[in-house]
Structure 1
Amino acid sequence: MRITPRAPRATRGLVLAVAATTALGLAGCNRGSDSDTASGDGGEAQVGVVLITKDSTNPFFVAMQKGAQADAAKNNVKLTVASGKQEGDDQGQITAIEDAIARGDKGILITPMSTGVNAAIKKARDAGLYVIALDTPPDPADTVDITFATDNREAGTLIGQWAAGTMAGKPATIALLDLFNDKIVSVDYNRDQGFLEGMGIDVADPKKNGDEAKTGKYTAAGGGDYTIVCNEAGNGAEDGGRSAMERCLSRNPNINVVYTINEPTAVGANAALQAAGKTATIVSIDGGCAGVASVKSGVIGATAQQYPLKMATEGMAAIASIARGGEKPTPDEGLDFKNTGVALVTDKPVDGVESITSDEAAKICWGN
């Protein structure tokens, strides 16, 4: 994914605009199905769409599935929901893509597992399906027709800036708990590398985790010394996060900053720290209701909130419109995807980094 210069970060006004949009989407989930089916986009023919997520257990993907299912009648969409069995199940997604082609669906919404599904996506597009990636831009970005996603680089940068501001010049001994160590996924390297850039740590290859200098100076918020202890994969799961954190602590028990790919990983990391009698500043990304609660309780110092319902419903509406002769969506200026928004959530704000509180985030979060 080409990394382009970022425009100035969102102000509170933009955050509240995203919140309002999300609230409208949530309100849409409560509409009566009879009236929606009757409206059916002016009585147009029903459009077949499949939503393929990485799994059906992560609260982020569950929220995406439920939101799309609740909103499908609004656009007279016949929605099929599928997923891999777990993170890393390329074949499960490939099978779902092939099934969509066989059914004659008009489009696919997919959170692509890895480059391993690229060939199947190409096959679908060659068959005439319009393919929108959600949350995870594929590599390369033009594998799909367009991506609706959080700017994961910006999300990582926000929590990195917050971490540097919180450290306030003190030495930072850092653990990086990533998604995979055997796959290259854009959401993985963009969040990790964005975090480092936010702290003011030079990255080497912007599409590769773990090749930056292990010691040096972080320059954000006045700067200080840093040591990177580890890049460990937690597979986006709580148990994986705990195991990854245990491995990092075995190398250096004095870790005081922990970057995590998502909030289940953060909870697992915290459990490992508690078991070892240690504390650290933990930052994460997702903004689910459970993650926001972890910010409020102090388990997570800050998280970057994203909006999966908006990704799914806007993507589904786009496919329905295109199938009926509407215009195709275009990327936002300066990006190669449509940005669905991000907001830093913390109850310990730092100067120069725009944020919302956990109470504000709880009003617009997703999941349980």
Structure 2
Amino acid sequence: MNRSSIMASALVCAGALALSACTTTKTSGPGSSSDTGDTGPVKIGLVTKTESNPYFVKLRESAKAAAEAKGATLIALAGKFDGDNEGQVTAIQNLVQQGVKGILITPSNSAGVIGAVKQAEEQGVLVVALDTATVPADAVSATYATDNEQAGRLLGAYVKARLGSTPPQLLMMDLDPSASVGIARHNGFLQGMGLPLETPAVIGSALTQGDQTKAQQAMENLLQRAGDKVNAVYNINEPAARGAYQALKARGLTGKVLVGAIDGGCQGVQDVKNGLFVATVMQFPKKMSEDGVTAVIDYAKTGKKPSGFVDTGATLITDKPVAGQESKDTAWGAENCWG
């Protein structure tokens, strides 16, 4: 890439309304102009929910590496926070203007971005979802993601087994009622526990945005009302679980409460090993990114769109396995974690 090209790329990134990180990679290879008939390498857009969350950092890094390996260009943007639908819409529009062939998106709220997705596809841009399915699912051509209900079920079944005959008294650290991933994990957890969606076993819940500080504050408030009745805490992700744990620790309840999470980040695996969490459910963002990049490259070459939901897997990580449920220990988790 010559100096003028580098400067042009920098100006494009700076002009993207300061949404978030912009990553551009250009090399020769299978996705270059010789295969696509275009004047340069295939451009792929990535829109994540946030820039700083380690999970989305890994998603971005993996997409960049996969694009480089195929001679493509990756332009990565993000919302300012989980739920920044306006920011994601602006990112989609900017990417279309920059001539991307496909957009990979982790939608904060699918209802908030579907209009922009439809407009992009009307202009010949392939849009696929990573990590989080849209509602309806066919709003995008394909989805590469964890089966979030299954991830919730794995955690719920484990917590149920660990409680044994003790009646559950649950606190739920949720995401957002409009976020499909949060709904799926919440409902899946209760299914795994063998409980209906409306159950008195849930003695309190809070919306955390998957943020550690918000989760800690929410848990402190819930404990003031729930007292010492709680015996298990569901968490939408590992940052929320860390916040919940800190609040429980301040009340001297950590030895009495089972704290579980979903994510599979390296810090989360370490938290399981150190006894902060009884278990976490690992996702595989690297596979999501690689599959998404491959789909865009194939579309650029052949015009064929991917379709349907592709489950990229979920694995329960714990050092205290229970009979009848498959799991991996933290040694395996450390070898396969992200972040």
Q: Please report the TM-score for the alignment, with normalisation by the length of structure 2.
A: 0.87
Aligned match of 2:16:
none
Query: What does 1:115-264 correspond to in 2, within 5 Å?
Result: 115-180=111-176, 183-203=177-197, 212-214=198-200, 227-254=201-228, 255-264=230-239
Which amino acid is the alignment partner of residue 245 of structure 2?
N
Which amino acid is the alignment partner of residue 321 of structure 2?
P
SS in 2 for 1:139: coil
Aligned match of 2:298:
321
Deviation of 1:41 (Å): 4.4
CA distance in 2, matches of 1:318, 1:55: 23
Whether the aligned pair in 1 keeps the contact of 2:48 and 2:105 (CA below 8 Å) is: yes
Aligned match of 2:72:
77
CA distance in 1, matches of 2:183, 2:279: 19
Whether the aligned pair in 1 keeps the contact of 2:31 and 2:72 (CA below 8 Å) is: no
Whether the aligned pair in 1 keeps the contact of 2:31 and 2:42 (CA below 8 Å) is: no
Deviation of 1:40 (Å): 3.1
Correspondence for 1:110 among 97, 105, 109: 105
CA distance in 2, matches of 1:133, 1:39: 25
CA distance in 2, matches of 1:50, 1:131: 9
Deviation string for 1:25-65 (max 9, x for gaps)?
xxxxxxxxx9x934334842411111100001111000011
Which amino acid is the alignment partner of residue 320 of structure 2?
K
Whether the aligned pair in 1 keeps the contact of 2:141 and 2:307 (CA below 8 Å) is: no
Deviation of 1:127 (Å): 1.3
Aligned match of 1:44:
35
Structure number with higher relative contact order (C-alpha < 8 Å, ≥ 6 residues apart): 1
68-77 or 114-123, larger mean C-alpha shift: 68-77
Deviation string for 1:55-111 (max 9, x for gaps)?
011110000111111221222211100000111111111111001111121110000
CA distance in 1, matches of 2:42, 2:194: 47
Whether the aligned pair in 1 keeps the contact of 2:58 and 2:286 (CA below 8 Å) is: yes
Aligned match of 2:13:
none
SS in 2 for 1:354: coil
Deviation string for 1:122-165 (max 9, x for gaps)?
11111111001000001111111111000000000000000000
SS in 1 for 2:321: coil
Aligned match of 2:19:
none
Which amino acid is the alignment partner of residue 201 of structure 1?
L
CA distance in 2, matches of 1:342, 1:327: 28
SS in 1 for 2:120: helix
Deviation of 1:309 (Å): 1.0
SS in 2 for 1:285: strand
Whether the aligned pair in 2 keeps the contact of 1:270 and 1:299 (CA below 8 Å) is: yes
CA distance in 1, matches of 2:117, 2:205: 30
Aligned match of 2:246:
271
CA distance in 2, matches of 1:185, 1:51: 19
Which amino acid is the alignment partner of residue 101 of structure 2?
K
User: Matched residues, percent identical?
Assistant: 41
Correspondence for 2:284 among 295, 307, 313: 307
CA distance in 1, matches of 2:67, 2:155: 34
Correspondence for 2:318 among 314, 330, 346: 346
Query: What does 1:16-55 correspond to in 2, within 5 Å?
Result: 37-41=27-31, 43-45=34-36, 46-55=41-50
CA distance in 2, matches of 1:343, 1:145: 26
Unaligned stretches of 5+ residues in structure 2: 1-24
Whether the aligned pair in 2 keeps the contact of 1:40 and 1:73 (CA below 8 Å) is: no
Unaligned stretches of 5+ residues in structure 1: 1-33, 204-211, 215-226, 332-336
Whether the aligned pair in 2 keeps the contact of 1:44 and 1:76 (CA below 8 Å) is: no
Aligned match of 1:295:
272
Whether the aligned pair in 2 keeps the contact of 1:138 and 1:185 (CA below 8 Å) is: no
Whether the aligned pair in 1 keeps the contact of 2:79 and 2:87 (CA below 8 Å) is: yes
227-236 or 259-268, larger mean C-alpha shift: 227-236
Which amino acid is the alignment partner of residue 262 of structure 1?
N
Deviation of 1:326 (Å): 5.6
Whether the aligned pair in 1 keeps the contact of 2:31 and 2:297 (CA below 8 Å) is: no
Which amino acid is the alignment partner of residue 286 of structure 1?
D
Which amino acid is the alignment partner of residue 169 of structure 1?
S
CA distance in 2, matches of 1:163, 1:76: 45
SS in 2 for 1:56: coil
Query: What does 1:4-15 correspond to in 2, within 5 Å?
Result: none
Cα RMSD, aligned residues only: 1.5
